[in-house]
Amino acid sequence: MPSSTKGMPTAMEMRRELRGAVRCLTERGITKAAKWAAEQLCGLPDNLIGSEHDEGQELGLLGREEPPASDRYLLAKTYFDLREYKRAASTLEHECDDARSTFLRCYAKYLAGERAREEQTLEGEGEPKNEELEGIEREIKACDRPDAFLLYLQGLVLLDKERKSEAKEALLLSVRSYPCNWAAWQALQEVQDADGCAAEGSLPDHWMSNFFAAAVCLENGDENERGLEEYTRLQHLFPKSEYVLAQAATAHYNLRQFDEAQDLFESLHRRSPHRIESMDTYSNILYVKEAYAGLSHLAHSAILTDKYKPETCCIIGNYYSLRTQHEKAVAYFRRALKLNRNYLSAWTLMGHEYVEMKNPEAAIEAYRRAVDINPRDYRAWYGLGQTYEVLRMPYYALYYFRQATKLRPGDARFWCAMGQCYESEELNMQDAALQCYKNAESKGDREGIALAKIADLYRKRGDYEAAYTYNKRNIERLDADGVCNADVVQTLMFLTQHCKGTGRLGESEVYCSRLLDYGGNHREDAKSLLKEIRLLRIHSEEGGGGGGNAESDEDDGGMSMSESD
């Protein structure tokens, strides 16, 4: 993956390239990439934005100025902009000598085929295909030297035909020939190798490679820290870029740094209150933090901006989910999918809702659709694992948890989930469970599951000293987090009895004294234990042989804890 300083020109040179890119991409109808280029253009430092003295020095395709468009091309482009794709293609049917016309004609056919496929899907006609792909592929192959944009379109066609290796080759040729087409880079993300990155030597020595590298890091579950570093560096070059700010916030979200992510998203929302892109991720953060008012405000703002955007439907779905109105949440996630059937977040979140509604079959279907769209979506794999775990099918659950762990090996939650599968009655693989929990603990187990599980497994084995070590670490963690619940009581009880049984009477008294702060039967048990411990200390200090009872007390302590379960 390229470093963030690779091939980095001056800000003025980037501005010229971006201005040229906006024009080239707009002329060809690649509007989302044109929008992206324009946003980065306006993301450059203030002293460059709005400077018009280099108006005539834009860099066009391959650094050359293109000839003026033909009259028929201008007419076809107006049809294209009005989404009359077949009419646009027909208008350019005999414009064969112009690469720009060839691209617009083929691209219009491609989009016409995509629209027909969408319509057939809505009408429930099975799994329709884009019927224009074969003709477009033949037409591109007939070109002696397809330009960067035809290569990009060829990559899209090959992707749809699931010929990923050929698609990757075409897309790499496209970005090397014309690096400023962000749409080609996005398509290239879909055909990455198993390790999540294209061959570094194949990427162009161009500053756009740095945007690609950062985006790929966010796609790869365990590379978000590196991605955040990349976006932090890009923020110095594009300090006003909303895209870079949104991506940095998303990196924090993926790292579960919710406070930092929320701060960045709030800054983005203040800067651009009508922006919808990435706000669905912001709504996920507000959902996790149970910020009812914030999520309500965001949903209202999104509705006023564009209530028919998939992201808006997703935000509203999260709002209803937080209010435990799961049926309404599902309705909005379905609405998002009607607007964009490949909207990954909606499939995954809808799966979560079906789990809450105790409809595992529908949840599994939603999660499967998510992983079909993006096999690197670790959240969907994890959701599948959780659903099969609820169904008491640990072998299936284990498979899906493993898939999530492969994508995000640094996430302790997935290791804990695997450990719980191994612990199940059906598998009963205690050694494997123990190793999973140790892996989770080494990955920074934020939920605090692993230490207690490790301690309990050692206790069940009869290795009370190891159980003591991990319980001691666990009580330190619980104290640091300010936790005050049944887990604390259970841990303190084990430590009290174990230390009493091994002659660590002073330590045992400290733990037992803490149990007095808890009510119920635990308090009465603690009072009795405390009397015993103090008597043992007196006998020990008087040379009364209190230490000689350590071994038998060890056994009693171990049995007592086993029986307490």
Backbone angles phi, psi at 470, to 5 degrees: -75, -35
Instruction: Give the residue-averaged pLDDT of 469-479.
Output: 93
> DSSP letters along 256-311, please?
T-HHHHHHHHHHHHHH-TT--TTHHHHHHHHHHTT-HHHHHHHHHHHHHHHTTSHH
Cα separation, 269 vs 347, whole angstroms = 25
**Cβ-proximal residues to 397 (8 Å cutoff; 6+ apart), any chain:** 385, 386, 387, 388, 389, 417, 421
Which stretch of 24-38, 207-221, 349-363, 393-407 has the lowest confidence by average pLDDT? 207-221
In percent, the amount of the chain with pLDDT more than 70 equals: 89
Is the predicted pLDDT of residue 6 greater than 70, yes or no?
no
**Cβ-proximal residues to 334 (8 Å cutoff; 6+ apart), any chain:** 346, 350
> How many other CB atoms are there within 10 angstroms of residue 439's CB atom?
20
pLDDT for res 356: 96
pLDDT for res 447: 86
Which stretch of 96-100, 109-113, 128-132, 458-462 has the lowest confidence by average pLDDT? 96-100
Is the predicted pLDDT of residue 128 greater than 90, yes or no?
no
pTM: 0.86
**Cβ-proximal residues to 273 (8 Å cutoff; 6+ apart), any chain:** 301, 305
